[in-house]
Amino acid sequence: MDLSIRNLVKRFDRLTALDNVTLDVAHGSFVCFLGPSGCGKTTLLRVIAGLEDANEGTIQLGGEDLTAVPTRARNFGVVFQSYSLFPNMSAARNVGYGLECRRWDKAKIGARVDEMLDLVHLADHRTKLPAQMSGGQQQRIALARALAPDPSLLLLDEPLSALDAKVREDLRVEIRSLQQRLNLTTIMVTHDQEEALAMADVIVVMNKGAIEQIGSPRALYADPKTAFVADFIGRMNILRLDESDRGNPSFGGVALKVANIENAANDARALGVRPEMISLSDAEAGGENTLPATVSGITYLGNITRIEAVSDAQPDTPITVELHGASAVPKPGERLGLVIPAEALRVLA
């Protein structure tokens, strides 16, 4: 069932935590709310879960208005950052607890708990208490508990952020494949852009209580509409343009060709370009879209080499270039040209 959110406003005293949020979540999709601390991600998730009332706006699931439906009756699975398992109950009892509350009969609960423990590969740990399990195992139990009542919507609030890097990556894959197998509409809050890129069908980038941009990971990376999104997802070099005719952008006196600039929604005041889209040329060679610059730093990162170059036009903000594999690497202090393809430049609001 599709989830449809319209014009949600949530205020805490004078603070507007959600500022006119409108969003559609298609059935079976995996959506990430991504944004910096305090932007309203958890608040939005809590309003969807019914744990918090909105001041304005509506939420519908499959066409049914949720406003009057209490949290319990929504039948949504929720997993929070802290494991929040019942410490005095075994793994199996934790998984079955929601079913006991729903007064399922004993035999049915037993079978469902077994099925859920298998699903998260923890059948051997069924008698353990939460304190006897690792963080990753506890989070998988929390996931099994949320899935047991066969929810129509799964809501995850930073479920992986307390785990160490390796476990986090494994669980990413596990959650994603589970979600796809069950075709379960899922919303996950995260402030980790890599997590969002790796897991989501759709990313909702939030900033100060409002939605900044919605799109697939590829679309957001390739075509961010604002400097905020560009900066939050991946690295983006921002070129502040000369105060000349906006239709003919130039940077430090170098005219820049920008593909499809006529389609841009905004006047071009700043352009963005991803570090891996820039190549290097001889300083003297000149040529189209080539910025003269001096190498200020080099960082070897194994698969890539990251180069910081100070352009003559914008000395306060070095431009980052990422070279892949075994490309020839320049030396600090070297003069060179930064070559930027017209197709790689983005007009940013």
Ligand X SMILES: Nc1ncnc2c1ncn2[C@@H]1O[C@H](COP(=O)(O)OP(=O)(O)OP(=O)(O)O)[C@@H](O)[C@H]1O
Interface ranges with Mg ion (CB under 5 A): 42
| Secondary element (H or E) of residue 3 | strand 3-12
Number of residues that bind ligand X (CB under 6 A): 12
| Structure-token pair, residue 154 | 């799964």
Pattern 179-208, binding to ligand X, x per CB under 6 A?
------------x-----------------
- Report the residue number, 45 or 147, with the smaller CB distance to ligand X: 45
79 part of the interface to ligand X, by CB under 6 A:
no
Smallest distance from the beta carbon of 23 to ligand X, in angstroms?
Answer: 15
Closest contact distance (angstroms) between CB of 130 and ligand X is: 23
Nearer to Mg ion, 186 or 294 (CB): 186
Minimum CB distance to ligand X, residue 24 (Å): 20
Give the C-alpha separation, 34 to 50, whole Å. 20
Could you tell me which of 181, 110, 179 has the C-alpha nearest to residue 143? Answer: 179
Residues 20 and 8: their CA atoms lie apart, in Å, by 5
Q: Which is nearer to Mg ion, 17 or 254 (CB)?
A: 17
Question: Shortest approach of ligand X to residue 162 CB, angstroms?
Answer: 12
User: Shortest gap between Cβ of 154 and Mg ion (angstroms)?
Assistant: 17
Taking contact as CB under 6 A, which single stretch among the options 30-38, 68-76, 127-135, 277-285 is the one that binds ligand X? 30-38
Element of type H or E holding 145: helix 135-147
CB 15 → ligand X: shortest distance, Å?
Answer: 6
Quote the CA–CA distance of 316 and 304 in Å, as a whole number.
24
Q: Which SS3 state, helix, strand or coil, does residue 196 take?
A: helix
38 contributes a contact to ligand X by CB under 6 A = yes
Q: b vs e for 1-21, b when ≥16 Cβ sit within 10 Å of the residue's Cβ?
A: eebbbeebbbeeeeebbbbeb
Which of 32, 40, 144, 337 binds ligand X (CB under 6 A)? It is: 40
Q: Residue 54 or residue 278: which is nearer to ligand X going by CB?
A: 54
CB of 12 or CB of 86, closer to ligand X: 12
Among 43, 137, 311, 314, binds ligand X (CB under 6 A): 43
In the structure encoding, which two tokens stand for residue 247, read together?
A: 């239709």
Task: Report the candidate in 230, 245, 244, 242 with the shortest Cα–Cα distance to residue 277.
Answer: 230
Phi/psi class of residue 158: alpha, beta or left (left: φ > 0; alpha: ψ in -120 to 50)? left
